[in-house]
Amino acid sequence: MQQLATPPLSDLEARVLSGITEERWLALATELIRTGQPRSGNPLDPDLPPAEEEAISMLVAGKLEAMGMQVSKHSAQPHRPNVLGVLRGREGAPSLILNDHLDTYPAVEPEKWHMTDFDPFKATRHGDLLYARGTSDTRGNLAASLLAVQALVESGVELDGTLMCCYTVDEERNGSNGSIYMLNEVGLTADYEITAEPTAWGDVSKTDTSKTDTFKTDTCKTWGMNLSIANSGHCLVEVTVRGVKSHIWRPDISINAIMEAAKLLPNLQAMAFSHTPSEFMGHTPPCCSVVRIRGGLPGEMQFSPDTCVITLAVVGIVPGMTLAGIVCDIERVGHQTFAGSNNLGIDVRQVPGSLFVNATEPVSVEEEPCRSLRAVYRRLMGCEPGVNRKNAFNDTIRFREAGIKAVTFGPGEDGWAVDNENISITKAVMATRIYALTIMQILGLRR
């Protein structure tokens, strides 16, 4: 990979970057990771209680106020305030939202967290990796975005445009009380938006940091952060298999719904959804994953069950796919599986209380905020970032739906470990540096 020629840093840029250190990022990330947990855990399951992000919201709001931002809090539900900090620039100048979310996935099985002494919220360093729930998704990224803004303020940077730090609740449930509320009810808007969420790849340990003359070239071969200019969509679908109930000692007259559902599972895994390929397909094509199976009733263990409910997460949705089309595809596979079974039925519907999330169209890499992100990445990393469609949901989708040019870029691992979640410290510090200089380039400096 050819190393690109990059302009030297200005004195102001160098001063900004000097305020971004591993020690400062580690201290901030560790504080954020512990705060408000486990109550900030927000399961996607519609039948479980949502998070309460109030504690982390208050902490972040205080940090933004200490930076001199105009801070407001906006709640669609009690104990769940979204936080908005604003550094107001010149009227008519560009505006940029820097976004991250305040909820995390729950940590359901702490006994599996051996890298953190079985405390999922105890930020623990092993080599270049910091382990804890929320490191990659997304309080490590949150720390990077906050430290970037802090470094700008401490260095006396006066931005020409307006910077907004919008930190939302409810992202893990697709944003109804977070980004959707802020955009539709509060009226948040801007020219551009960057979501600090996981897009990182590769292994930092494979780079020889002692060879300063080839550091950038070697780095680009072994690790980096992608620029996600579009997102795939997703939805939750419920498939109910209906059979015939009987006594367990009369299997000859029953149609056991669980046994029949087992025949359907491999066909669901192998099925192809109807879609038109997109210019930017995600790493995961349109497909489904079984996330829950329910069959049998309490108190009826002496009977074979007549219903079995399969919950599917349909992921990798690309532009043009619809809920109706997805349901039709699943029904077709069900009818093919059970063809000829007169007493067997199948019902398919969206999981009640869940949202259908559409895929987004890509932002041009030649437009902001991509143009500045790419330019700064080249200066600090010595090469172009990879460009892709991010498979997972994040608030970028909601900003794109509102007509804002929004992208995702961050140091968290894209596909982070579910248990013993971690983030690369080296990547986090680099992302912080990239955020800071990108903000300066997009918004410009006051003259």
Amino acid at 18: S
Radius of gyration of the chain (CA): 24
Residue 281's pLDDT band (boundaries 50, 70, 90)? confident
Three-state DSSP state, 443: helix
Three-state DSSP state, 384: coil
With a cut of 50, say whether residue 231 has pLDDT above it: yes
Give the predicted TM-score (pTM) of the model.
Answer: 0.94
* Percent of the chain surpassing pLDDT 70: 96
Contact 145, 28 (CB under 8 A): no
Residue 341's pLDDT band (boundaries 50, 70, 90)? confident
Euclidean distance between CA atoms 333 and 224, whole angstroms: 40
Q: Spell out the domains of the chain, with CATH numbers in brackets.
A: 11-231+359-443 (3.40.630.10), 233-350 (3.30.70.360)
Euclidean distance between CA atoms 69 and 134, whole angstroms: 25
pLDDT attached to residue 3 = 52
| Nearest of 309, 270, 275 to residue 288 by alpha carbon | 270
Contact 3, 216 (CB under 8 A): yes
pLDDT attached to residue 220 = 84
6-41 core/surface letters (b: 16 or more CB in 10 A; e: else): beeeeeebeebbebbeeebbbebbbebbbbbbebbb
Beta bridge mates, 255: 244
Q: Could you tell me how far CA 23 lies from the centroid of its own chain?
A: 25
| Average confidence (pLDDT) over 247-262 | 94
- DSSP assignments along 154-195, one per residue: HTT--BSSEEEEEEES-GGGTTTTTHHHIIIII----SEEEE
Residue 208's pLDDT band (boundaries 50, 70, 90)? low
| Nearest of 129, 193, 150 to residue 17 by alpha carbon | 150
Residue 31's pLDDT band (boundaries 50, 70, 90)? very high
* CB proximity list for 369: less than 8 A, separation 6 or greater: 96, 192, 193, 194, 363, 405, 407, 438, 442
